[in-house]
Structure 1
């Protein structure tokens, strides 16, 4: 559940969690929790009827996706803010302190990797992550001898195990549901580079303002790419439309990242790190 990611938002009064219940019971719970308040503004990004059965002055309802815009741009336009502000995830002092315990400030570069996703279709092969990590951290490489942070959901650790075990224990840190989401965010803020599939963790990495490389295949980078100054994408040799046209079925459980080669990812990663470092030198 993503609720913990909002716990450090300034001026937050409360978070109402909505785990799904039978027959839409979670919507009924939400309505009961907020119906006695008068709201200055009600924002509904799910297009439900909830916004219209609550007392309030202004209602903003997302009618559907605009395929001409990145989703962040669309949300900014929805509330009349253009250009849209870049995503931010606030952290607390305790999150920063815990991140420092997990990843000491010892001068070693940090490569963060998200080798999993919530759908097998957009999950790059473990062996390709292994090869990419090895290429980026080998002697003389752009992140030579880097510590590697591996992150994912608790249910995704087993599928990520080959990648985890490919990193020597003294050079790896893994977080698969064992830390608070804001601790994960604080760790991502320390990364010299994040590489990962199209996932929530990729968007967290982008919000950290650190170099973020998202791997895309059966999703559109123009809609869901990492939205930040240092967010970049690399996609399969096949376009989104070609992938969708050639999959086995609508509910296919096949991997759809086959045509993304390691060399393409490594080249994009190296260029991103170099660009970021050159910017830092220019700012000095």
Structure 2
């Protein structure tokens, strides 16, 4: 196996979900030269993959012209293997000895397992992100050894996925103040550019705790290095949640209109929680939920999240 073309998602979370298949390929074929095509947001979590010869940034264009642009950049190569987790047609118009293209199925399964199915991998390989050493060094500088850290991401890509930031503040305070399950732990907030307002209620709830707010300040590989150091990560259904799980942090995902059976954080150290309304009732009550301008996690109560966090802490105590 000399040349592999791996086509993955434009979204951060989906790219992380697919990363286990990519890791399988580079482990199975260490001599191969790998080309990865992904969206610009996913670049930081894929650009340090072993064996990576080229990273092609796929920017969406009208009429699907981004696929024509990708074809122009890869058609001259004779590929030993093309793996397309976007399920496009491009693999069939390239010279390739072998093509593995994702086909959507009506069978309900986690997206990690669905991605693994393209290579018939069972059990599915867990997502994996490769980081440069300097990212871990920076994270260690921000979060010195010898202390537990609670890392939270109170934002998400869309408002209907976001639990109110004031609720996050209550949970964080309950966990880290004296007598809490993580009493004395450091608090770190992460998120993307434009998410800064979501950090404010948490900072205000802990004025003397030295909360480290890294929202909008980090390259995504640095975010991965930060969440890797978490004793516990709590976040909405988001790309950062999937990154935390992939980095091995105990990860609690908060869910509302999205399905945790498909998109929950993946791994033994992960858990999810939702309100009593449930998924089906949420989608029925809000049929246009994808356009909903505010949180659809309003039924999820603070004590429920605190209890779920405590249970995850207890379960991962020996890990």
TM-score where L is the length of structure 2: 0.83
Q: How does 1:232-243 map to 2 (within 5 A)?
A: 232-243=271-282
Q: 1:19 aligns with which of 59, 63, 78?
A: 59
Secondary structure at 1:149's aligned position in 2?
A: strand
- Tell me which residue corresponds to 2:316: 276
Q: Which deviations, in whole Å up to 9, do the C-alpha atoms of 1:231-277 show, x marking residues without a partner? A: 11111211111001111635222321011101110001011111211
Higher mean C-alpha deviation, range 42-51 or range 61-70: 61-70
Q: Give RMSD over aligned pairs.
A: 1.6
Does residue 1:139 correspond to 2:178, yes or no?
Answer: yes
Task: Give the Å deviation of 1:169.
Answer: 6.8
8 Å Cα contact 1:115/1:163 also seen in 2 = no
- Tell me which residue corresponds to 2:222: 183
8 Å Cα contact 2:150/2:186 also seen in 1 = yes
- Tell me which residue corresponds to 2:188: 149
Q: How does 1:99-178 map to 2 (within 5 A)?
A: 99-105=139-145, 107-168=146-207, 171-178=210-217
Task: Give the Å deviation of 1:108.
Answer: 2.1
Secondary structure at 1:152's aligned position in 2?
A: coil
Q: 2:235 aligns with which of 182, 196, 199?
A: 196
- Tell me which residue corresponds to 1:90: 130
Secondary structure at 1:155's aligned position in 2?
A: coil
8 Å Cα contact 2:195/2:216 also seen in 1 = no
Higher mean C-alpha deviation, range 34-43 or range 211-220: 34-43
d(CA) in 1 for partners of 2:193, 2:306: 27
Task: Give the Å deviation of 1:180.
Answer: 1.9
- Tell me which residue corresponds to 1:206: 245
d(CA) in 2 for partners of 1:5, 1:273: 27
d(CA) in 2 for partners of 1:161, 1:55: 53
Ranges in structure 1 where 5+ consecutive residues have no aligned partner: none
- Tell me which residue corresponds to 1:257: 297
Aligned CA distance change for structure 1 residues 9 and 164 (closer, same or farther; 3 Å): farther
Task: Give the Å deviation of 1:39.
Answer: 1.1
Secondary structure at 1:56's aligned position in 2?
A: coil
Secondary structure at 1:13's aligned position in 2?
A: strand
8 Å Cα contact 2:189/2:214 also seen in 1 = yes
Secondary structure at 1:74's aligned position in 2?
A: helix
- Tell me which residue corresponds to 2:264: 225
Ranges in structure 2 where 5+ consecutive residues have no aligned partner: 1-40
Aligned CA distance change for structure 1 residues 51 and 242 (closer, same or farther; 3 Å): same
8 Å Cα contact 2:275/2:300 also seen in 1 = yes
Q: Which deviations, in whole Å up to 9, do the C-alpha atoms of 1:118-152 show, x marking residues without a partner? A: 11111001111000000100112111121111111
